[in-house]
Amino acid sequence: MGLFFHLLTHFLFALLAGFIVWKLWEKPVVSFLSAIAGGVFIDLDHFVDYYLTFGFDLRWDYFFNGYQFLKSGKDYILFHGWEYVLILFVLLFVFKNKSAKSVVLGLALGMFFHLSIDSALNGLPVKSYSIIERAKNNFEAEKLVEPERKAEYLLKRQIIKF
């Protein structure tokens, strides 16, 4: 799947998350904004990975092709974590205000959909989107990809010249 359709999928599922939250607590603005933040803007962490690999020399072709992950061999993606979703769901029981609940659930559902889609489309097992799991594996992408895609990943790392 190309980048445009990948991002479009995230956006559409973020809208679905926002719609669900809006229908629950009738707070449309915060429902949709928080769902989009959790479902789309979560990808801003890719800039952190890019910076750690290439510094401030931003080449959009490298960025959009995910070369930062291939060159470094690391998957930090610090905003991509099931742990955040779990914490947000727990926070639902802490807040009583409908606006606060809308923000928390919007973020949680947006992130849940985002991580589920990424897992399905990127060839990484669900557990690879756990910060704890990535940390246990020293954030090494080679240890996080599905076994049947490991050879393809390693070949790409050898072929692409930076």
Q: Is the dihedral of CA 1, 80, 9, 7 positive or negative?
A: negative
Whole-angstrom Cα distance, residue 25 to residue 111?
Answer: 19
Task: Classify residue 74 by its DSSP letter.
Answer: B
Whole-angstrom Cα distance, residue 91 to residue 87?
Answer: 6
pLDDT category, 148, cuts 50, 70, 90? confident
The residues, any chain, with a CB within 8 Å of residue 60's CB and separated by 6 or more, are none
Please give the model's pTM, rounded to 2 decimal places: 0.93
Give 3's Cβ-side CA count (13 Å radius): 8
Residue range 42-76, pLDDT digits in tens: 999 999 999 999 999 999 999 998 999 999 999 99
